[in-house]
A = this chain, B = another copy of it.
Amino acid sequence: MSQQKPRVVIVGGGFAGLYTAKALKNAPVEVTLIDKRNFHLFQPLLYQVATGALSPADISSPLRLVLRGHRNTRVFLDEVVDIDPIAKQVSLIDHEPIEYDTLVIATGVSHHYFGNDHWKPHAPGLKTIEDALETRRRIFLAFEEAEKETDPEKRKAWLTFVIVGGGPTGVELAGAIAEIAHTALKGEFQRIDPSEAKIILLEGLDRVLPPYDPSLSAKAEESLTRLGVTVQTKSIVTNIEEGRVSVRQGENTNQIETRTVLWAAGVKASKMGRILSDRTGVELDRVGRVMVEPDLSIAGYRDIFVIGDLANFSHQGDKPLPGVAPVAMQEGEYLAKAIVSRLNGGSIEPFQYIDRGSLAVIGQNSAVVDLKFLKLSGLLAWFIWIWAHIYYLIEFDNKLVVMVQWGWNYFTRGRGARLITGESLPNMDLDFPSKSIESLKPPAVKV
């Protein structure tokens, strides 16, 4: 065993996990990256899939492709269902347990309905490719249903889109849906005018993009309004049911009749946080994220690290680091260095996040950028947004296609990827056997 290299097991191939693996490329360790998907998802652009501008593969990179040159790394398509910190191994659904010397957990977060999980079927979130395709299906199907509907009230409900949450995702979704209604679908319907659609963005606090500078929030709201979005701040959603959202604004509660509600509000930790806490006693925060030490390890376990959105890092500033890609990437890169340093008997300084600023896009030619030393909005901000995203995309593989698609969309104002897939009609015969296939599934849980 003295010959064996230290085994680093990374759970999750998002920004945090993948950047750890990438940074360990030439380290004298054996890396195993486990993910339940075979691709890394560039989540900041997921709203573009949800609104028909890009295809899923445009913002996804096969993990094996990204890590192809890594001779010390193997990739496992599987899901970790348990952790044994004493035996130092993780249990998988479809494989025998895998032992580790260092464990890195980076399984992220999912949606949080603030205790109202029954809202979920009526208001899908936006975390996975499947979420995005479901959102896309709902948006474009709503226009199709409106076209067929003869009752004016019902038609109006099909043409009302409510986005819950005024953070970057909510702002980007609202802006994109406004562009769909006013530009992309123009002239394509015979009975309805898509630009009559009402797009309502609800935010509980007093402004959109709450983490940004108030001046940028104001700019964003202005741009959204110009695009045709109704921005309602200080608005708390009190109920979501079929065809209706209840919203409290001050003393008043109003009902919005709508057939399309999109959820861009809370997040909660993935279940790996709870499992880890059960096995190690580590503290979780209010939304289930794991409280991490200054070096991203967990209390009492120097060989277990939690990074990315799942981690609550509260050792810098007066609140936890935000769940954004730059934090995840920097944590991954830091951790890779820390692991190598430890192997050499050394130690490194606590993790320190370098905040290079925030950006959010509102629509074509419009974004807000907060570079700390410089706050920008409008066209120039939009160019910075484009540049920053292409810069990160080209780190991976075939993202040339994204540039071409964006260029094409820009000049045609088109949304060619607006397929309604899956069920679009009741009893629709798609001639699609998938759900009945038992034969294809791997054998039952072994561990």
Contact = CB atoms under 8 A, between A and B. Distances in A.
Interface of A: 36-39, 52, 55-58, 60-62, 64-65, 68, 74-79, 93-95, 110-111, 120-122, 124-125, 127-131, 134, 138, 140-141, 144-145, 147-148, 185, 187-191, 242-243, 259, 271, 397-398, 400-401, 404-405, 408-409, 412, 414, 416-434, 436-442, 444-445
B65 A439 contact: no
Given A64-B185, A65-B188, A398-B408, 16 more contacts: A36-B425, A36-B429, A38-B140, A38-B141, A56-B419, A62-B418, A65-B416, A77-B420, A77-B425, A111-B431, A121-B437, A124-B434, A128-B432, A130-B421, A130-B434, A398-B405
Given A56-B55, A189-B64, A439-B243, A76 B426 contact: no
Tell me how many chains of this kind the complex includes. Answer: 2
A424 B37 contact: yes
Given A422-B434, A431-B127, A145 B442 contact: yes
Listed residue (A68, A128, A138, A431) with the most chain B CB atoms within 10 angstroms of its CB? A431
Contacts of A122: 437, 439
Nearest to A260: B440
A331 to B, nearest CB: 23
Nearest to A95: B148
A200 to B, nearest CB: 18
A193 to B, nearest CB: 14
Nearest to A434: B134
B442 A188 contact: no
A444 B416 contact: no
A144 B63 CA distance: 12
Contacts of A38: 140-141, 144, 418-420, 424
Given A131-B432, A426-B442, A414 B65 contact: yes
Given A121-B433, A431-B111, A439-B243, A57 B417 contact: yes
A168 to B, nearest CB: 20
Contact of A401 (B76, B121, B408, B436): B408
Contacts of A445: 426-427
Listed residue (A55, A61, A404) with the most chain B CB atoms within 10 angstroms of its CB? A55
A430 B127 CA distance: 10
Contacts of A121: 433, 436-439
B442 A68 contact: no
15 contacts: A36-B424, A36-B425, A36-B429, A38-B419, A62-B419, A65-B414, A68-B188, A77-B424, A78-B425, A121-B439, A129-B419, A242-B438, A400-B404, A425-B441, A426-B444
B61 A58 contact: no
A187 B130 contact: no
A122 B437 CA distance: 7
A22 to B, nearest CB: 15
A288 to B, nearest CB: 14
Contacts of A110: 431
Given A145-B442, A185-B64, A430-B130, A57 B408 contact: no
3 nearest CB pairs, A to B:
A55-B55, A57-B417, A242-B439
Contact of A404 (B401, B429, B433, B434): B401
Given A129-B421, A436-B121, A93 B427 contact: yes
B442 A425 contact: yes
Nearest to A241: B439
